[in-house]
Every structure is written in structure tokens, then in C-alpha cells.
Amino acid sequence: MEELKFVLVFVLLALASSFASASDPSPLQDFCVAINETDGVFVNGKFCKDPAQVTEKDFFFPGLNTPRDTSGPVGSNVTTVNVAQIAGLNTLGISFARIDYAPNGGLNPPHTHPRASEILVVVEGTLYVGFVTSNLANGDNRLITKVLNPGDVFVFPIGLIHFQFNVGKTNAVAFASLSSQNPGVITIANAVFGADPPIKPDVLAKAFQVDKKIVDYLQKQFWTDNN
């Protein structure tokens, strides 16, 4: 019986550990305002400023009420507010973003956040949003979508490919909160076709089951955009 209890406790601790490591570590003090000084040492996060030198500026970012330019190729603009913009976010496990979408098809293209789940609220316009699951038992990847209007909220689980698309005739705006001070982003098309150095075209042609000329064209497009 004692051995069984030990095994159960071990399993529970292992599960708790896996959950704890699934997001940013919990802070061990009120705050740890980030500084860029490293002295050649790199840590998982940022070094802390002396608390006596912390000011309100370390917790502040202005201007998220200002519309952004959406005239780029995909018709969207993401304004991130993470630890790079607000040093006081260091160790707090959260970040924020404003996303602007052009009318008639503004797109925040398929991408993932490797270190964060995301909760998004629409404040203006109409968005078609969705995410794709990892492989199910039958090997399929399920697409889960919803059309959102102002006031609607949608969640994108950590690490899953997701997108937002403006299906309305007017500008759209959404705000998102993410469960990491530094969620990271991998935009699928840019990463696959614009990687530096490029992925060998033969690899992509076989993976996507298309002619190598198509891969060459796409790599030229994204390599130009990314470099």
C-alpha cells in the first residue's frame, strides 16, 4: 500500500510539474522589471532592475487607441505589447496586442505562438477566425472556426495554427491577451518559404506535392519580403 501511495504521489507531482512548465514560471517577488545587461550571461527571461530604481514608465505603453496602417500585403497590422515594450512584464506571464485589419479581406495569416495561448476580443468589424488541431486519433487535423462580431471573444490554444480574416466591408480591430511575456510567433508561410537559409526546394515540393517551379516562385516571393 505504501508503495502504491508513493507511485500515486510521484505521478501527481510529475503531472503538476508538466502543467507548471506549460507556461511562464511564476514570479517569486512583486515584480522583476527587465534590463538588457547580461555581462555575457543569458537566462530564461531577463535580468531584473534594482527595485529602488523602478518607475511607472516600466509598466506603461501608450497609444493602443491609434489605428495602424493596414496597407501591407496581407492587409493587417499587429501591434505587440510584450516584455520588449513593457519591461515590467518580465516574469508576469502575460502580454497584449492590438490587431488592425483592412476592409474586404484583411488577414492575420496562419501562425502559431509556441509559448502562449491567446484570447481575442473583437471591438470593431466582423472577423472569420479559426484554429487547426494537432493530429487526431484518425490522423486528421480538424479546423474549428467562428465568425466574430464586436464584443465576441475567441480562444486560440497554445501552439496551434490560427488566423483571423476580415469578412466585412469596413475596418476591423481586435485586442488579444497572451499567456506569456514573450509568446513568440511563427507565421507559417513566411517560415516555410522565407526561412534563412532557404529550405531546399526539393523538400518543399515533395512535402506539398507540387511542382518544384511553384516552390521556387513562392520562395522568391517570401525571401524578398523577409530579407
According to DSSP, the residues that pair with 47 across neighbouring strands are: 35
Binding region: 108, 111, 113, 118, 162
Is the separation of the CB atoms in 89 and 178 below 8 Å? no
Dist CA 86 CA 47 (whole Å): 14
According to DSSP, the residues that pair with 145 across neighbouring strands are: 130
Binding region for Mn(2+): 111, 113, 118, 162
Peptide bond into 25 cis (omega under 30): no
Q: Hey, how many other C-beta atoms are within 10 angstroms of the C-beta on 62?
A: 6
Binding region for oxalate: 108, 113, 118
3-state DSSP call for residue 16?
Answer: helix
According to DSSP, the residues that pair with 172 across neighbouring strands are: 101
Is the separation of the CB atoms in 24 and 93 below 8 Å? yes
